[in-house]
Amino acid sequence: MRREEFTTNVDTDDRIPRLTARFEGTPEVLRNRLAEHGQAPDASDLDVSYRHTSADEPGVLAVSHRLTGEFAFEAPLEPSALRSLVAATSRRDEGDRNYCLRVEPGDGDPVEFEKATLLVYDADGNLDREHSLIPGGVEL
């Protein structure tokens, strides 16, 4: 799977801000990468992060397995879309600062995960706490 096989979109007009990753490859490949030990993941099984890249390129959205750290997939995401998602999620009432990660494998059966955490890193790999979504009480 390559990043180029994904497109991403952020929708902040819905009930909950939504980040959608669409896969243009073979759906089974993505479903197998998302699953661990043959089982579909739960939202708590996956971590979402974003890494800024050089100035004129989209950043990298990464979805990884929490226990192993193995990447399920990486997709391009424009910095402006990330800022929109973080701002919309941050404006929600405390205790309800979640967003929806929607993964569309390409077979008409999307998978949605409600997430509260999104870690944002600068191009040098340093955590950008100011622009990350980190729920209260979470230690890093």
**Is 7 contained in some domain?**
yes
pLDDT at site 138: 61
pLDDT at site 48: 98
Q: How far is CA 25 from the centre of its chain?
A: 18
**Is 137 contained in some domain?**
no
pLDDT at site 132: 96
How many domains would you assign to the chain? 1
Domain of residue 14, residue span:
3-131
pLDDT at site 61: 98
**Is 106 contained in some domain?**
yes
Q: What is the pLDDT of residues 87-140, one digit of tens each?
A: 999 999 888 899 999 999 999 999 999 999 999 999 999 999 999 999 876 655
**Is 18 contained in some domain?**
yes
pTM beyond cutoff 0.95: no
Query: Poorest-confidence range of 13-17, 24-28, 100-104?
Result: 13-17
